[in-house]
Structure 1
Amino acid sequence: MKFWTGTAFMNTAEMPAVAKMLDENGYHGVLVSDHLIFPRELKTRYPATESGVPYWQPDTEWPDAWVLIGAMAAVTENLHFGNNVYIAPARPILEVAKQVGTAGALSNGRVSIGLSAGWMREEFELLGQDFDNRGPRLNEMIQALRALWKGGWVSWKGEYYDIPEMMIEPHPPAHVPILCGGESAAALKRAARYCDGWVGTAYTLEEATVWIDRIKGYRREYGRENEPFEIILGLFDERTPDLYKRAEDIGITGVMCSPWADWDLQHSGDHSHLKGSAEQYRAPIEKFAEEIVSKCM
């Protein structure tokens, strides 16, 4: 089992030091969340709350994913980096290709990218990207990025992107796994058809089984059921080595865990318990590593 942690709601400046602690204690990786801005007038409804209002405050820090990953990669040796999730279609494709390629080179191939179509129209409009075609455009972006990361002279021509032959260096030194987030049918199909894996949110193990069965069904539909496939998600159940063994048995390859976080506080909008110095994370990181990580390798 691979153990991933997140960075949401932490102090940006403390994250590299926390990443070093995770690396020293045998965790597999860090997943970085993404938002560009919080508009004064948010007109787009947030789909994950009944009220349609995000559960975080406007001044919440959302550091640039790839700048942060570069900083964390510089102070670690084995830790891997990905996203939960990165709103790639809100950005120009060449910008995404350049940022991920650079992070891959700096980390010696320790990066993946977890993509999502996104939900906030305002972010797309501020960056000059079409919000209404973001889903099919993301499907093509995934294929185009693979071509752009090959190194040497590369190009892509499709319905949404027409990229003439060029070199875009540095390119990643190894294959960059592309995962997709989201729970809609379109998102699950995107993961099953085009991606190397799926990033969920948090569920009970029983609930996770339902989502995994859906993805497996789509993978069979696309003839990809025998290809390697990552499934990363969080679990609400009591954290024990046995839980993660059962999770592996149903196809979960990685679990998101935040040994320092209070889930109820986090989703109430109170993130003050996450705002201290890096040292506040050391004890829970070491305890979880000793009681769980070391016994599930």
Structure 2
Amino acid sequence: MQFWSGTAFLPTRDLLGIAPLLDEAGFTGMFTSDHLIYPRQLNTPYPLTGDKPPWPPETEWPDSWVTIGALAAVTTRLRFSNAVYIVGARPLVEVAKQVATAATLSDGRVELAIGTGWMREEFELLGQDFDNRGPRTTEMIHALRALWKGGWVSWQGEYYSVPEMMIEPHPPAPVHILCGGDSDVALRRAAEHCDGWVGLAYKWDDAVSVVERLQKFRTQIGRGEEPFEIVLSLLHAPSVDLYRRAEDIGITGVMCAPWRGDRYREGIEKFAEDILAKV
């Protein structure tokens, strides 16, 4: 079982101190979250509420790849990924460059977890089409893999055309791509095109249901026996039994924040003693 910590809603400056603590304690990695801005005039409804998002406009959302680069520099084994990065809001080559650079600086300790996004204003601010973000995201998965191969690379698809070029540095090893979202479309995208899936926070029965749906799609396309990451958060008190049951149904990683307030060291060390050492 892998154990990941999120970074959402934490003070940006605190992350530089938290990452080494997680590294020393034996955690698997950290997930960054992604929002570019909070527009004063926000017309796009937040999907989970149908209204405004549940965080205030001044909430800090540090850039994912600047953050990952900084955290990689103060750790030695901790891995980094996203929950999730909205690739379709950015130009393809920019995403390829950012991830490849982070993978190189971290000596391969990077995965890319993608989402299609919900805020139209962010896409329009960056000059990207919001309405076709789903199929563009799917194409980007394959285009990114092509652009990360090293040497002369190119891509020709329905939405993106990249002439032959070198884009260096390229990742030292293949970068795993995971997909977020728990709609049928998102789960199928993960099952067919990705190396894994990243979910939200679920009660046990809901977690079982979404994992079963995901496994059904993987079986339908003939990928049921291939290695595949399934990472989510469980809305239950941490326990050895909980995580062992999660592992039994195919969950490979859980997201957790083992602290209260700013008492990071105490919470991380206790979680490592009570859970990590036994699971």
TM-score (norm 1): 0.92
Task: Name the residue aligned to 1:207.
Answer: 206
Q: Does residue 138 of structure 2 align to residue 155 of structure 1? A: no
Which residue in the other structure is 1:267 paired with?
Answer: none
Secondary structure of the structure 2 residue equivalent to 1:295: coil
1:26-37 aligned within 5 A: 26-37=26-37
- Aligned-partner SS, 1:292: helix
CA distance in 2, matches of 1:123, 1:70: 23
The Cα shift of 1:184 comes to 1.2
For the residues of structure 1 that align with 2:204 and 2:164, how far apart are their CA atoms? 47
**Structure 1 runs of 4+ off > 2 angstroms?**
none
Alignment match, 1:41: 41
Task: Give the SS at the match of 1:53.
Answer: coil
- Which amino acid counterpart does residue 66 of structure 1 have in structure 2? W
Structure 2: segments with no counterpart, 5+ residues: none
Offset at 1:205? 2.1
Corresponding residue for residue 4 of structure 1: 4
Does residue 82 of structure 2 align to residue 52 of structure 1?
A: no
Matched to 1:5, the amino acid is S
- Could you list the per-position Cα deviations for residues 158-197 of structure 1 after superposition, in whole angstroms to 9, with x for gaps in the alignment? 0000101100011110111100000111111100010000
CA distance in 2, matches of 1:178, 1:13: 27
Match of 2:245 in 1: 246
Name the SS of the counterpart of 2:4 in structure 1: strand
One-letter code aligned to 1:150: K
CA displacement at 1:291 relative to structure 2: 0.5
SS at match of 1:175: coil
Shift in Å, 1:222: 1.4
| Structure 2 residue aligned with 1:128 | 127
Residue identity over aligned pairs, in percent, reads: 63
Which whole-Å CA distance do the structure 1 matches of 2:82 and 2:110 have between them?
A: 9
Query: Superposed, which structure 2 residues align to 1:95-134 within 5 Å?
Result: 95-134=94-133
What one-letter code is carried by the residue in structure 2 that aligns with 1:76?
T
Q: CA deviation at 1:204?
A: 1.8
Report the Cα distance in structure 2 between the residues aligned to 1:118 and 1:14, rounded to whole angstroms: 26
Mapped partners of 1:222, 1:133: distance in 2:
24
Q: Which stretch shows the higher mean deviation, 244-253 or 199-208?
A: 199-208
Query: Greater relative contact order (Cα 8 A, min sep 6): structure 1 or 2?
Result: 1
**Partners of 1:55 and 1:138 in 2: how far apart?**
26
Q: Which amino acid aligns with 2:18?
A: V
Matched residue count: 279
| In structure 2, distance between residues paired with 1:224 and 1:6 | 29
Q: CA deviation at 1:237?
A: 2.0
Alignment of 1:202-241 (within 5 A): 202-241=201-240
Counterparts of 1:54 and 1:38, CA distance in 2: 10
Alignment TM-score, normalising by the size of structure 2: 0.98
Partner of 1:188: 187
Question: Aligned-pair RMSD on alpha carbons?
Answer: 0.9
Q: Offset of 1:242 from its aligned partner? A: 1.0
Unaligned runs of 5+ in 1: 262-272
AA at the equivalent of 2:107 = N
Rounded to whole Å, the distance in 1 between the matches of 2:126 and 2:97 is 17
The alignment status of 1:197 with 2:196, answered yes or no, reads yes
Once residues 102 and 219 of structure 1 are traced to their aligned partners in structure 2, the CA distance between those partners, rounded to angstroms, is 31
**1:238 Cα offset (Å):** 2.4
The equivalent residue for 1:24 is: 24
SS across alignment from 1:165: strand
